[in-house]
Structure 1
Amino acid sequence: MIKLLKMFCRLWSLGWLAACLLCSAPALAADAKEATPPLLESLRLDKKLDFCGEPVPLDDPEVRERMERELLLSLWDRDQAILWLKRSSRYFPAIEAMLSRAGLPDDLKYIAIAESALQPHVGSPKGAIGYWQFMPDTARRYGLAVNEAIDQRRSLAASTQAAVSYFSELHEKFGSWSLAAAAYNMGEEGLQAEILTQGVRSFYRLYLPLETQRYLFRILSAKLILTQPERYGFHMQEADYYPPDRFATVELTCREETSLTVVAQAARTDFKRIKDLNPELRGHYLAAGTYTLAVPENTPPGFQTRFDQGHQAWSTQRKERIYIVQSGDNLSSIARKFNVPLAAIQIWNRIDLRSPIHPGDRLIIHPAGSGTDKP
């Protein structure tokens, strides 16, 4: 009797499992469509791959191996590839428009992926910063402001215009977009020296620094993934992509240094939104000068008037909140006295915490409970 009962239970379990499999078959089939393709299948590349219209010689085994290596590395870091895709809808339209107006190939936009993954604040150990990873001297050479108050390498519009000019000059000098990309990575003088030394003018046949040898293939990997995401297992829906930033631009005349909080209040928004829309602005203050700023698209008219009024009130308030350093004071003791963070004193007064203060120095302090914690 017990054996019959066990057999019945086993048959019932098998029947239940079969029913579940039948019911889930459509879902499994749908999941199969969404599955990540085998890596070997992903490496079966189209021999017509090109960069800026220049064919990539994939029939050369060594070139194919280099291409496969970089594509595998990009596909292995799938989290990053997803972010490439999601950010592309936010930044590519502006980059594409600027490349098109200059008559440059659309493929150049993928250089920004290889350089910064489309992030404005990314920096390199060597000092390159921004979407296109300009070094300070190169940035200034192409008209970008790089100083303590503003760093236009972080501005999408300004840095892309500089990149457009640089790409144009590099292509004119080397006569090849693949060599222009190599020069962008390693510097034109270094590339010219290798061409003269090796007697070769093909990127694919030149022995270059290892990073530069990989560089173009990293760009091509980004191109393959972003133009054929489904082939590589990235089944994106329209809602998955980040929307473009919506903003208006205003002309601002700032007659003396002021807090960016004043700018934010004039735009009827907050400090963070102004910083996000204008990543080139550094720190908490806006230096005297004339600016074209991005503000939320629903900013009402009268921005300059509101800014002038806000700056006057902010300036008056600062004059009313001066603390004169006494003998025996230090920044820590002053912070405790007014019950404010030490870092806030640093921001309000733009001072280095390592620099000594002296009796008679004048510090701006907003005491706790004064109704403001703004710089």
Structure 2
Amino acid sequence: MSALVRLPGRLAPLAFATLAALSFEADALSRRDQAAVDALNQRMQAAEARYREALVDAANAGPDARKAADAALEDMEDAITACGKQRGCSMQNMLASFKRLLKANSDAPRTDEDIDTTLVDETPESGSVPDSAAAAALLTPDGERFKQMVQYNPAVQAGIRRWLTDMRVTLIQSHENYQHMQHLMSPAFKRSGLPEALLFGIMAKESNGKVHVGSRAGAVGPLQFMPATGKRFGLGPDGTGFDTRYDPQAAANAAAAYLNERFRELDSNIEMSLAAYNGGEGRARRVYRESGGRSFWDADVYNQFPAETKDYVPMVIAAAWLYLHPKEYGLTFPKVDTRPATIRLARSASIYELTICLGNGGTRDGYMRVLRNLNPRFEADQMIPAGTSMNVTTKMVGLYNRWCTQGQRADLARTLVTSDPNTAIVRRGAAVPVPPIAPPPKVEAPAPDAKPEPTASATRPARDKKPAAPREYKVQPGETLTSIASKFECKIGALADANKVPAPRYMIRPGQRLKLDGCGS
């Protein structure tokens, strides 16, 4: 791809204007000055966001990408110039935006077609790979803070080897899943001064970025909170039938609070805090206290943790390390357009149905995982009412409007998700083949005083009436409330209310007996 913006002709003057204005000193601000400062900061942020959108459009061969990028940079230049003249305007905010763009430009590859460096967005917000985590705590010279916080040793190297070999696909999928949830999850770690790379490492090891994952021990969600721990940090049933441990934003907030609590107890030791996250905070606290604060890698400390924790700690650090330094290991994470958007369902649909009608849309795996991660309140087979707002990406909006509101593919998707496999099974007595028509037998006329024999139709009960639907039904393995509602022509809401099944998850179990009052057949 040819260079979207040429340097230094474009960004160099921007840098000069930014650095020259850093010496501006502001006195106490009036309300008018403060409002002007706020407006300039918002203008700078909006211009940066438009520039990043232009980069995504350029990656997709958008015809107007270059023009949009130039316009955004011009707005940034104007905002910097105005900031230099505005009382109280801090150029540090302007410098932060500029620094991100300049860093991305310096790391971008050169092409034979254009000797200038292509400005490639490498911040996590764009969905591509950062050279250093976006957390403010990591914006130190050379991004060295994470390196200083962990011990890079053979155990971590073994973890890196595993992520790059047998688990490479899992790591890449984790990264793709995380990019779609990053705008929901990363702010909690940034506010807490925690490395975003650590968030990614935990998520990759715990759930691979799949929101609905659960363990046999009872931990669920993208960051795998147990019920009791989740409750301590504000997670759990919210009164509507939804467990907020599945919510990526709520889970990230809880994880940040949990880790900061461990850091305070364990002297900001990442390895011991991760051991607490996996192996229990009580054990980690006791081992740390009794060892006098020795390293997790000290044999006397290390051997007091279970095998799962011994594996967990280096694997999380290894995933975080690769998140920060992919190029060093020949690792390329796919660029994903993750710009968030919403759709309002034009007609009722399930996530299964939307996955089918949306298609692949140029992706490898389609949108099943994205829909589930961004809409954790809904089960995959749950019929979601028309008018419901759902979280998607900007690209999915166009696909939905084209393929899912009406038409052949939309109807096909509906047919596939409402089909009942049980109707394919022919049971004995359910269908009787019709015999070929034969000439009627000759019947002799009865004697005048003889009584006619009763006919077969008169001796058997009438079969022209449709049998009444059973008033109660036993749930079979693999069935959901949605499939049962479809089978017996029930309204799912009425069926749920009659059986006190909480929305929106509509969880039922095999063997449970459901009342079918109000169902059609």
- Name the structure 2 match of 1:116: 207
Name the structure with the higher helix share: 1
Q: Is the 8 A contact 2:179 2:336 kept in 1?
A: yes
Partners of 2:211 and 2:221 within 8 A in 1: yes
Match of 1:137 among 228, 244, 248: 228
Would the alpha carbon gap of residues 177 and 195 (structure 1) be closer, same or farther in structure 2, given more than 3 Å must change?
closer
Matched, 1:169 2:169: no
Counterpart Cα distance in 2 of 1:191 and 1:96:
26
Residue aligning to 1:182: 275
RMSD: 3.8
TM-superposed deviation, 1:112? 1.6
State the distance in 2 between where 1:100 and 1:87 align: 19
> Kindly tell me: are residues 53 and 106 of structure 1, through their superposed partners in 2, closer, same or farther at Cα, counting changes over 3 Å?
farther
| Letter of the 2:171 counterpart | A
Amino acid at match of 2:163: S
Which structure has more strand as a fraction of its residues?
1
In the alignment, structure 1 residue 103 sits paired with structure 2 residue 193: yes
Give the match for residue 220 of structure 1: 317
**Aligned pair count?**
257
- Match in the other structure for 1:149: 241
C-alpha spacing 1:243/1:146, structure 2 compared with 1 (3 Å): farther
Residue 455 of structure 2 corresponds to residue 365 of structure 1: no
SS in 1 for 2:332: coil
Equivalent position amino acid for 2:184 in 1 = A
Stretches of structure 2 that go unaligned for 5 or more consecutive residues are 1-141, 355-370, 398-467, 476-482, 502-507
**Aligned amino acid, residue 217 of structure 2:** K
Alpha-carbon deviations, 1:153-188, whole Å to 9, x = none? 111111111111111111111112312222111111
* Equivalent AA in structure 1 for residue 255 of structure 2: A
Q: Structure 1 residues 297, 354: closer, same or farther in 2, change over 3 A?
A: same
CA contact (8 A) 1:151 1:281 kept: no
Counterpart for residue 41 of structure 1: none
Q: Is the 8 A contact 1:51 1:177 kept in 2?
A: no
> Quick check: 1:94 aligned with 2:204?
no
Cα 1:235–1:92 change in 2 (3 A) is same
* Residues 87 and 241 in structure 1, CA contact (< 8 A), matched pair in contact too: no
CA distance in 1, matches of 2:337, 2:484: 37
Change (3 A) 1:356 1:211: closer
**Match 1:159 to one of 251, 260, 274:** 251
Larger Rg: 2
1:1-375 equivalences under 5 Å are 52=146, 54-58=148-152, 64-76=153-165, 77-109=167-199, 110-146=201-237, 149-178=241-270, 179-205=272-298, 206-207=301-302, 208-236=305-333, 240-244=334-338, 246-248=340-342, 265=345, 270-272=349-351, 277-281=374-378, 284=382, 294-295=390-391, 325=470, 344=487, 348-349=495-496, 350=501, 352-356=509-513, 362-367=516-521
Gap change, CA 1:296 and 1:216, over 3 Å in 2: closer
- Aligned amino acid, residue 99 of structure 1: F
Say if 1:51 and 1:150 are closer, same or farther in 2 by CA, change over 3 A.
farther
Letter in 2 for 1:270: A
Indicate conservation of the 8 Å contact 2:207/2:224, yes or no: yes
Distance 1:269 1:366 in 2: 20
* Identity within the alignment, %: 24
TM-score (norm 1): 0.57
Secondary structure class of the residue paired with 1:363: coil
Task: Describe the SS at the equivalent of 2:198.
Answer: helix
Cα shift at 1:71: 1.6
Gaps of 5+ in 1: 1-47, 59-63, 250-263, 287-291, 300-322, 333-339, 368-375
More contact order relative to length (CA 8 Å, sep ≥ 6): 1
Mapped contact 2:219–2:226 kept (Cα < 8 A): yes
Q: Call closer, same or farther: CA 1:204–1:269 in 2, change over 3 Å.
A: farther
